[in-house]
Structure 1
Amino acid sequence: MRRMQGGGRYRPRRATYRRSAGRRYAEYALTFVLFMALALVAARLDRTQTVRPEGRAVVNDGDTITLAGERIRLRGIDAPEYDQTCTRAGASYPCGRQSRRELERLVAGRSVACEGWERDKYDRLLAVCRAGDIDLNRRLVEEGWAIAYGDYADAERAARAAAKGIWAGEFDRPRAWRELKGGVAEAEHSAMQTIFNWIRQVLGW
């Protein structure tokens, strides 16, 4: 091993790395883009603020209401469409209308309070709603007039086992019925869809 004068070990000099001007400019540009992206997200975070409308509700169908000027889709459930029919004991009946009547019965004479921040592609607020001490989302599934759609799987299992509501006969799942009639598929209210909704709202898609 080579030694320096005075007995010290020889250490090779480290090669110096000099960034090119082009690389420095690219890093500056990336930093600027990231800064602007963060600023954009911060400026639009108000789009994901929790909304809490309250008052008398107008029932549109088995899983949608209008409250305090907000069109609200009950989150985590899916009810038969208003014109949808199901069968029971071999006979057809208007299960979509029955689902709507059940929701009307639950909110009748009561003030409804909802809470949510997500919006679906129709700009409806996805929310959990209560009429007094009744959790409307859960109760509709428990009584068999809506199915689990990202939540309330336990309530659906109980309703199915007890043959309540639409589980007393045969029916097309509402999503399948909408697609059959040429409607646009609506994504289930899952954790992944929640993330997508947040990104879509923040970016203003």
Structure 2
Amino acid sequence: MTLLPIETVEAVSDRNTVLPSSSNSLRLDLTATEEPAEVAILTTPDNGALRVIDGDTLAIGETRIRLYGIDAPELSQSCSDMRGQDWACGQWSKAVLAKLAVGSVRCVARDTDRYGRTVAVCTSKAGDINAALVASGAAYAYAKYARDYVALEEVARAEGQGLWRAGAQAPSAYRAEKRGAQPEQTPPGACAIKGNISGSGKLYHLPGGRWYGGTRINEAQGERWFCSEDEARAAGWRKAQG
């Protein structure tokens, strides 16, 4: 068994910088286990260069990866510090991920999400990146989908790490609030199939589908409405899961 210290990270709202803190060093079990042959494993630089998209999403080559079991603030999201002043917590979480995802990064797939992204646990010389983000208070444990990191979040909350130093809105609540503020879209005539473009490519959503209501069409970005599935497929879109 190999145990390596994971250095926690604190947010300083005055500058939105990232400072290391050794006072609450965590020790994570990084014992190597053999994954089944069918499990997708992505590594840098073998599968391409790494890019950090936001606080819980990165890309290796052309593959977008959503970090399993965690949920970080959206890039546009702000939080309140202990003085009640706003600071860019979404940008800060992205910066923390960028500091952790350096050198050789290895991601083991767990699932594929509704956007077609690979859902994975990623490790670097810092250890389990997903766990380190939660332990440093840079992300929430996404208990709706997995409970792997719930205990780490409880410790981060108790210690006032990162987002837990003051007021922070859960990313899921922030997204729901943003969706609620947007007017409902009306399809043009009978052409009600939504052709959405995301990091996973071109996906079309059928009325009554699980993600139809929350999908918005931005025609300025090349998204469009379709009158039939045949039309959508002919234009290069594929059916969304769910």
The 2-side partners of 1:68 and 1:133 are apart by 21
Q: Match for residue 82 of structure 1?
A: 75
CA distance in 2, matches of 1:106, 1:147: 16
Show CA shifts across 1:109-159 (max 9, x none): x11100014100000101000012510000000000001012301100110
Q: How many residue pairs get matched?
A: 139
Higher strand share: 2
**Which structure: larger Rg?**
1
Select the residue among 153, 157, 160 that pairs with 1:160.
157
**Residue segments in structure 2 that go unaligned for 5+ positions in a row:** 1-37, 181-213, 216-240
Residues 162-181 of structure 1 mapped to structure 2, 5 A cutoff: 162-181=159-178
Relative to the length of structure 1, the TM-score reads 0.64
Q: TM-score, normalised by structure 2?
A: 0.54
* Root-mean-square deviation (Å): 1.9
Q: Which amino acid aligns with 2:42?
A: P
**Contact 1:57-1:111 at 8 Å conserved across structures:** no
Task: List alignment gaps of at least 5 residues for structure 1.
Answer: 1-48, 186-203
Larger RCO of the pair (alpha carbons < 8 Å, separation 6+): 1
Q: Which amino acid aligns with 1:122?
A: Y
As a proportion of its length, which structure holds more helix?
1
1:112 is matched with 105
Question: Where does structure 1 differ by over 2 angstroms across 4 or more consecutive aligned residues?
Answer: none
**Cα distance between partner residues in 2 of 1:134 and 1:63:** 16
1:15-94 equivalence runs, <5 A:
49-55=38-44, 56-89=49-82, 90-94=84-88
SS in 1 for 2:109: strand
Q: SS of the residue aligned with 2:179?
A: coil
